[in-house]
Amino acid sequence: MKTIMKNQTIKTLAMAAGTFGLMAGAAQAEKWDMPMAYSATNFHSAVGAEFAKCVTTGTGGSIEIVTHPSGSLFKGADIKRAIQTGQAPIGERLLSGHQNENAVFGVDSVPFLATSFEDAAKLWKAAKPTLSKILDKQNLVLLYSAPWPPQGLYFKKEVNSVADMKGIKFRSYNTTTARLAELAGMLPVTIEAAEISQAFATGVAEAMISSGSTGYDRKVWESLTHFYEVDAWLPRNYVMVNKDVWGKTSKANKAVINGCANLAEYTALYRSIHYTGFTLNGLRAGGMKVGPAGDKLKGDLKKIGETMAADWLKKAGAEGKAIVDAYKAMK
């Protein structure tokens, strides 16, 4: 009896879902192109693709999200503007890529402020309301966000101090990384992750700060030899939607998108954590020397980090200070 009732319930639910799907289909199916900056094999992109599928299935196909990884639709630096102006309805970008617009966007890249997944989660909790508000004023709705693994230094020689870095061509991915290069006497050159393998192969760049994940995805052992675990910060990617598009989305579809976004956020964090050790081993397997930075190098970087943190606080003003205070109160 119980089983029959259960079967009937499932049948009713299935019928309801079918009707909903048909209705949703009748209300004109939309295709949402989703530009992403990183390679399809990267965990952020893989989660983005799953998120897209979740939304497509969950909305009964009334919203079909199609991801475009590797900067193939818009280059990383152009993704946010494309979404703000409605050229694309949804997309993913590195949050700290916008710190030239507003220093608060760079809160996750302040050296040595949050250096573990646990602290990065606290910092995000402290920063999210302010960042959502800033994005809202820019015609954007924040959907979900996940951290990259901790940032370490890549070189093609042994490096034991900041003095050893002098004159090296250093690949940067935001203003923090460019500033770090300058303070360490290196020459910054901005290059998107999708293009670093070529940049290292041709000598346009010889070093960078990034996660094991990006070095592994881009097979940097073909050109570089050393990775120093510095745990300088854990920058974040985030997925945003154009606010006008969001405003026109039905309540039911918004609920599906938010549900899929929550799942994606959880999955991406989980993968980021587990990918950390896996990718460092991958770098080793590729022939790189992987290990913690030596004491001298650590001490030198700490000093540079203090200068950068003070500069950031000045630029980020009262909003930045309030976030840092709220974060420190959680520790």
Among 71, 235, 305, 320, binds ligand PCA (CB under 6 A): 235
Does 233 bind ligand PCA (CB under 6 A)? Our answer is no
Does 242 bind ligand PCA (CB under 6 A)? Our answer is no
Among 148, 154, 216, 233, binds ligand PCA (CB under 6 A): 148
User: Considering only 53-61, 207-215, 274-282, 322-330, which stretch makes contact with ligand PCA by CB under 6 A?
Assistant: 207-215
> In the range 75-114, which residues lie near ligand PCA by CB under 6 A?
94
C-alpha span between 4 and 193 (Å, rounded): 55
* Cα angle 55, 53, 280; round to 5: 120
Among 173, 221, 228, 238, binds ligand PCA (CB under 6 A): 173
Type of residue at 84: Q
Report whether 232 contacts 293 (CB < 8 A). Answer: no
Q: How many residues bind ligand PCA (CB under 6 A)?
A: 9
Q: Residues with Cβ < 8 Å from 23, sequence gap 6 or more?
A: 60
User: Considering only 7-15, 181-189, 211-219, 271-279, which stretch makes contact with ligand PCA by CB under 6 A?
Assistant: 211-219
> In the range 176-195, which residues lie near ligand PCA by CB under 6 A?
193
By beta-carbon proximity to ligand PCA, the closer residue of 146 and 257 is 146
Does 210 bind ligand PCA (CB under 6 A)? Our answer is yes
CB of 65 to ligand PCA, least distance (A): 22
Report whether 283 contacts 221 (CB < 8 A). Answer: yes
Does 39 bind ligand PCA (CB under 6 A)? Our answer is no
By beta-carbon proximity to ligand PCA, the closer residue of 80 and 243 is 80
Does 165 bind ligand PCA (CB under 6 A)? Our answer is no
CB of 209 to ligand PCA, least distance (A): 8
Residue with tokens 């923090």: 176
CB of 67 to ligand PCA, least distance (A): 17
By beta-carbon proximity to ligand PCA, the closer residue of 102 and 279 is 279
Among 45, 59, 145, 214, binds ligand PCA (CB under 6 A): 214
Under the rule (CB under 6 A), what is the footprint of ligand PCA? 94, 148, 173, 193, 210-211, 213-214, 235
